[in-house]
Amino acid sequence: MMRSMFTSSLNEEVKSIEEDIEAVKDKVDDPVICEKVRQFVYAPNDIRAIYKSYSGIVISSQRYT
Amino acid sequence: MRVDRPFIIARENIHILAAVLRSGEEPTLSRAQMQRVVRSHRAHQDYLKHRESLADSDDDDGPQNEDAWLFEDLVVLTKLYARLKDKEQLISLIFEVRRDMSVLSSANGYLSSTQGTTAELMKDIITIFYSPLAQVYRAASIADSIGDLQSFINDLIRTVEATEERMSR
């Protein structure tokens, strides 16, 4: 019983989050950028940590300005 | 301190996002896309500065131009993906199939068990702790205990975070 309770509420939440994601994707209007964001979120922890350690440097050096 | 945190996290995300989008990993962005990201990042930085200068956060109407909005949307997208990932992990935790058991039992011709280990564990815990818990609930005021538990877990999380920070240094 607990399982079915969990399943239905979790599935509903997942569905609503997915809908929100679709809406934001439509607004961004660039599947490649969205895919990069998705990859980053789903990357393992250590890869995310690397990005975190980068991020300060990239911004302060302003490589693309 | 608690008030500052969401903002700091949001600002971190933006920096990280810029790093993520500029990275050379597949799929790489085209030149036009890269320019769009950089322009958006700069506009968003300006917007953040503007937001910081506001005395009242209610005056904040969101970014003023399309470029800054792109970054704001990407931040939202990141958070949504993170929430989706959390939910997926939670589901897999609860319904984690005991593969070793099911392989064994199906090999022996028994019904295979597909109940998750976590669900099984929770059932056991509830069975064991139900009667003492019921006694405790009757004796103590639940609201207070839950408040105490919350502050304990908060302290625990803070301690673990501090340790992790020290370890990563």
> B142: distance to nearest CA of chain A, Å?
22
pLDDT band at A55 (very low <50, low <70, confident <90, very high): low
pLDDT at B150: 92
Q: Token pair for residue B11?
A: 């600002």
Instruction: Tell me the three state secondary structure of residue B111.
Output: coil
For B101-114, write each residue's pLDDT tens digit: 444 444 444 444 45
Give the one of B27, B94, B95 whose C-beta lies nearest to A35's C-beta. Answer: B27
Mean pLDDT of the residues in chain B: 74
Q: Which of B71, B80, B88 is most worth mutating to test chain A (most A CB atoms within 10 A of its CB)?
A: B80
A36: contact with B, CB 8 A cutoff: yes
- Which residue, B135, B58, B143, B81, is CA-closest to A33? B81
A46: contact with B, CB 8 A cutoff: no
Q: Which residue of A has its CA nearest to B165?
A: A49
* ipTM value: 0.74
> B15: distance to nearest CA of chain A, Å?
5
Report CB contact under 8 Å: B80, A34: no
Q: Token pair for residue B56?
A: 């009242």
Spatial separation of the C-alpha atoms in residues B114 and A1, rounded to whole Å:
15
Report pTM: 0.57
- Chain A residues with CB-CB distance to B74 below 8 A: 28, 33, 37
pLDDT at B51: 80
- The answer to whether the CB of B36 falls within 8 A of the CB of B70 is yes
Q: Which of A18-32, B118-132, B142-156 has the lowest mean pLDDT?
A: B118-132
Question: Which of B:57-116 have CB within 8 Å of A?
Answer: 70, 73-74, 76-78, 80-85, 87-88, 90-91, 94-95, 115
A55: contact with B, CB 8 A cutoff: yes
Report CB contact under 8 Å: A41, B78: yes
For B42-94, write each residue's pLDDT tens digit: 888 888 888 888 777 666 666 777 778 888 888 888 889 988 988 888 777 77
Q: Which of A24, A48, A52 is most worth mutating to test chain B (most B CB atoms within 10 A of its CB)?
A: A24
Phi, psi of B141 (to 5 degrees): -80, 125
> How far, CA to CA in Å, does A61 sit from each of A64, B73, B144?
9, 25, 51
Q: Which residue has the tokens 């818990």?
A: B133
Spatial separation of the C-alpha atoms in residues B45 and B126, rounded to whole Å:
50
